[in-house]
């Protein structure tokens, strides 16, 4: 039997691109030179994934400023003093704050997808940000002449266009990044914020046909940035039943770095709907130790005790460098972990087939 395996998204940028990002921010190089470096990094990423035998490719988010801010980078009507996301090691990330409407994406993810597709004939997957994350841009005290409901309508329209553009461009799958799901339970232990996020994301997913939703997945993790997380201390059991209620065809679930994966797998098994697939995380991007294929195999076989084999897939726990300036994991380590995932998944498929 075959077990599908997919990357999650970001891969550390090569040194030349990191230097170009620094030079661009300082005004030493222009947009064209930066774009040249980004295009070269995408081509190199695609080529290296192909060499590893990766059946589904990604561009490694080489051209994105971050997994969450790519649609709004350089957008007018934003101030820098938005929601602050604290991480366990003490560092923070801060979202911008919307100051005026109407809200529109400046860049759609299909642009990244099409650039990657020029370098390969293999299937390419594209990650997009969930509207629940971008809903945090709206200020708590509102915006004059731009009610929150109108903002959410605009946000859903843009998020739909983001996904539909990728589907129409031939994406193998579209992955909705929902790292704020687990974080919401830390910000609001009552679960009210999570319920709002689930409702908003389902309103988006309901705009697609059943066939389209079969190509759409949702990724969850406790965040992964500079070898730290923002919500790993939140009980997965409070998130997973509601997560699996999202009207998506696939779910990408962080598990390799989970302290009690069996408990999470029991919850998944109890709430898994027929016709959906769960890609379990089998490599941990914030652990510097590279997994062996045998470790990956064993993680897959453990998951197979709770998830029917025909509904099982594998992935990395999360992206290796979700923000462009995150250099906590080297590019070489990331590719070594991906190699272990591919080889270990094949070993597990062989064991389950036997």
DSSP string, 31-71: HHHHHHHHHHHHHHHHHHHHHTT-SSB--TTTT-SBTTTTT
**Is pLDDT at 264 greater than 60 in this prediction?**
yes
354 pLDDT more than 60: no
Mean pLDDT of 241-261: 97
Nearest to 252 by CA among 312, 306, 324, 294: 312
Buried-exposed string 321-347: b where 16+ CB fall within 10 A, e elsewhere: bbbbebebbebebbbebbbbbbbbbbb
Separation between Cα atoms, residue 136 and residue 126, nearest integer Å: 22
At 1, the pLDDT band (50, 70, 90 cuts) reads: low
Tokens representing 339 are 């190699």
Rounded CA-CA distance 143/287 in Å is: 42
Cβ 293 vs Cβ 266: under 8 Å: no
The C-alpha angle with vertex 288 and arms to 287 and 293, in degrees rounded to 5, equals 80
Cα-flanking dihedrals φ and ψ of residue 62, to 5°? -65, -25
Average pLDDT on 158-170 reads 98
Q: Which residue has the higher pLDDT, 354 or 18?
A: 18
β-strands 312-316, 277-283: how paired? parallel
CA distance 341 to 315: 7
* pLDDT surpasses 60 at 7: yes
Q: Which of 73, 47, 78, 71 is nearest to 60 (CA)?
A: 47
Mean pLDDT, the chain, as a whole number? Answer: 96
| Whether pLDDT at 265 is above 80 | yes
The answer, yes or no, to whether residue 337 has pLDDT greater than 80, is yes
Closest CA to 113 of 56, 176, 178, 165: 165
* Other CB atoms within 10 Å distance of the CB of residue 84: 9
Question: How many angstroms separate the Cα of 68 from the Cα of each of 120, 134, 153, 276?
Answer: 25, 8, 19, 25
pLDDT tens across 87-145, in order?
Answer: 999 999 999 999 999 999 999 999 999 999 999 999 999 999 999 999 999 999 999 99
**pLDDT for 128:** 98
Token reading at 261: 């994966």
Residue labelled with tokens 């995932």: 341
| pTM (two decimals) | 0.96
All residues at 6 or more sequence positions from 74 whose CB lies less than 8 Å from its CB, including other chains: 106
Distance, in Å, from the CA atom of 272 to the CA atom of 24, rounded to the nearest integer, reads 46
pLDDT above 70 as % of the chain: 99
Which residues, other chains included, contact 271 with Cβ-Cβ below 8 Å and sequence gap of 6+?
Answer: 240, 241, 244, 245
Give 22's pLDDT tier (boundaries 50, 70, 90): very high
Task: Note the helical H segments in the chain.
Answer: 15-25, 31-51, 110-117, 131-134, 148-168, 180-187, 192-205, 210-213, 240-243, 261-271, 293-304, 331-353
- What are the φ/ψ torsions at residue 92 (nearest 5 degrees)? -130, 160
Q: What average pLDDT does the segment 222-228 reach?
A: 93
Overall average pLDDT of the 64-72 stretch = 95
Report the alpha-carbon distance of residue 280 to residue 217 in Å, rounded. 12
Domains of the chain, first to last: 5-353 (3.20.20.210)
pLDDT tens digits for range 319-328:
999 999 999 9
What pLDDT shows up at residue 214? 97
């Amino acid at each position: 039997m075959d077990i599908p395996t997919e990357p999650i998204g970001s891969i550390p940028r090569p040194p030349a691109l990191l230097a170009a990002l620094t030079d661009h921010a300082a005004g030493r190089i222009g947009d064209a030179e930066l774009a040249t470096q980004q295009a070269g990094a995408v081509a190199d990423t695609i080529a290296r994934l192909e060499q590893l035998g990766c059946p589904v490719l990604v561009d490694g988010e080489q051209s994105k400023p971050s997994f969450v801010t790519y649609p709004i980078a350089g957008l007018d009507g934003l101030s820098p003093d938005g929601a602050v996301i604290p991480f366990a090691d003490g560092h923070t990330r801060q979202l911008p704050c919307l100051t005026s409407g109407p809200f529109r994406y400046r860049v759609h993810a299909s642009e990244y997808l099409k650039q990657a597709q020029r370098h390969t004939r293999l299937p390419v997957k594209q990650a997009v940000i969930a509207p629940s994350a971008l809903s945090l841009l709206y200020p708590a005290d509102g915006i004059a002449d731009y009610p929150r409901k109108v903002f959410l309508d605009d946000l859903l329209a843009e998020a739909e266009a983001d996904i539909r553009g990728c589907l129409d461009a031939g994406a193998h799958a579209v992955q909705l990044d929902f790292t704020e799901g687990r974080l919401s339970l830390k910000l609001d232990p009552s679960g009210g914020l999570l319920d709002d996020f689930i409702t908003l994301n389902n309103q988006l997913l309901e705009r697609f046909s059943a066939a389209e939703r079969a190509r759409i997945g949702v990724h969850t993790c406790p965040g992964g940035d500079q070898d730290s997380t923002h919500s790993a201390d939140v009980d997965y059991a409070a998130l997973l039943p509601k997560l699996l209620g999202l009207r998506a065809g696939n779910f990408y679930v962080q598990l390799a770095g989970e302290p009690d994966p069996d408990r999470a797998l029991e919850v998944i098994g109890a709430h898994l709907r027929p016709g959906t697939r769960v890609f379990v995380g089998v490599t941990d991007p914030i652990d510097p130790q590279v997994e062996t294929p045998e470790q990956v195999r064993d993680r897959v076989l453990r998951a197979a005790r709770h998830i029917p084999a025909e509904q099982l897939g594998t992935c990395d726990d999360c992206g290796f460098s979700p923000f462009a300036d995150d250099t906590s994991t080297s590019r070489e380590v990331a590719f070594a972990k991906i190699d272990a995932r591919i080889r270990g998944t094949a070993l597990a498929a062989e064991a389950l087939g036997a």
